[in-house]
Amino acid sequence: MTDAVQSKVTQRRRIGSRDLEVTGLSLGTAPLGGLYRDLSDEDAHATIDAAWRAGMRYFDTAPHYGNTLAEHRLGTALRRYPRDEYVLSTKAGRRFVPRKTPFDNTEGWQNPLPFEAIYDYTHDGILRSFEDSQQRLGIVEIDILLVHDIGRVTHGENDAHYWSQLTQGGGFRALGELRASGAVKAVGLGVNEGAAILEAMDAFDIDCALLAGRYTLLEQTTLADLLPACEKRGVSILLGGAFNSGILARGVEGDLKFNYGAAPPEVIERVARIERVCKAHEVPIAAAALQFPYAHSAVATVLTGARSADELRENVASFERPIPAELWSALRDEGLLDTAAPVPRS
């Protein structure tokens, strides 16, 4: 596929009630931080350039990705493009300091930068993280700031402690100050669980939330509670993890990762069933996986990751590929898709 601008990719939806719009398909940069596989600066920059040529105009990153590596790479690439033509988001909640403990690779980064994280969701911690990201990116104008990985999935028994940093410790207040001053245009969360977003909406006026997984072709656990709440409150979902960490990218013959770990047998079996239905309708499973979540009106964009320009172009082709309505009906008939889930129109 060529790098021509694509109509589905370039379709725009607004972030909450803010004067900010994102493209239908956008670039997530965890792979550019070396998630699971190392890559060169040249490959990272070529991936970003391919995303730009394809019409993507929203780019998301985080200090966590490659222990600040992805922010450096994204900023270097984006500074060559007109600043008023794209939307940029990063995250806060971790401050990075020179590494003092041995690197153990438990988080999956290959060849990251020599820093380690300190969780800090306090008022001053959020502001410090934001300023550090501006310097690493080399870009002052960050459009969206997301609180990263708050919630029980990440913090377990320590969740109450870190949640209190956001509420009593002023973390949410810092987000409000940044938005009110115009330093950012929108604020929200970047998490892997719907419950944290619901809890945050009760505590603070967020504009959006980057949800990794939890509303995908494989699982629609947030369809009954989170997504209706977002529609009611005007909170936009930035949908990451459409491949559920990899298993939906190429099916059971591909990368058997689910939710950042090895896929359990029941997940592999369900994906195999989905893949059989897709093959019967001559639709690659990746195309169905990328297009399905965008059919929900609460979803403003689908974030896709890639490690090379070729991977990026494959994802663009998947997002653009025509899919017959019969596929979605067949998935419902097989009990593989929630009957209440909206589906893409042909």
Question: Closest Cα partner for 167 from 206, 200, 192?
Answer: 200
Catalytic annotation, residues:
60, 65, 91
- Residues ≥6 apart with Cβ < 8 Å to 155: 119, 149, 161, 162
Q: Which pLDDT score is estimated for 346?
A: 66
Question: What's the pTM?
Answer: 0.95
Q: What is the pLDDT of residue 1?
A: 43
Q: Identify the three-state secondary structure at position 110.
A: coil
Each residue's pLDDT tens digit, 45-87? 999 999 999 999 999 999 999 999 999 999 999 999 999 999 9
Tokens of 283: 């639709």
- Going from N- to C-terminal start, the domains of the chain cover 7-333
260 in Cβ contact with 214 (< 8 Å): no
Give the mean pLDDT of 323-328.
98
pLDDT surpasses 60 at 3: no
* 3-class SS letters over 157-221: HHHHHHHHHHHCCCHHHHHHHHHHHCCCCEEEEEECCHHHHHHHHHHCCCCEEEEECCCCCCCCC
Among the listed residues 345, 344, 327, the one whose alpha carbon sits nearest the alpha carbon of residue 336: 327
pLDDT above 90 covers what percent of the chain?
A: 89
pLDDT band with cut points at 50, 70 and 90 for residue 260: confident
pLDDT at 131: 98
Q: Residue 4 pLDDT more than 60?
A: no
**Out of 3.40.50.300, 3.10.310.30, 2.60.120.650, 3.20.20.100, which CATH number does the structure's domain 7-333 have?**
3.20.20.100
- Digit-coded pLDDT (tens) for 147-187: 999 999 999 999 999 999 999 999 999 999 999 999 999 99
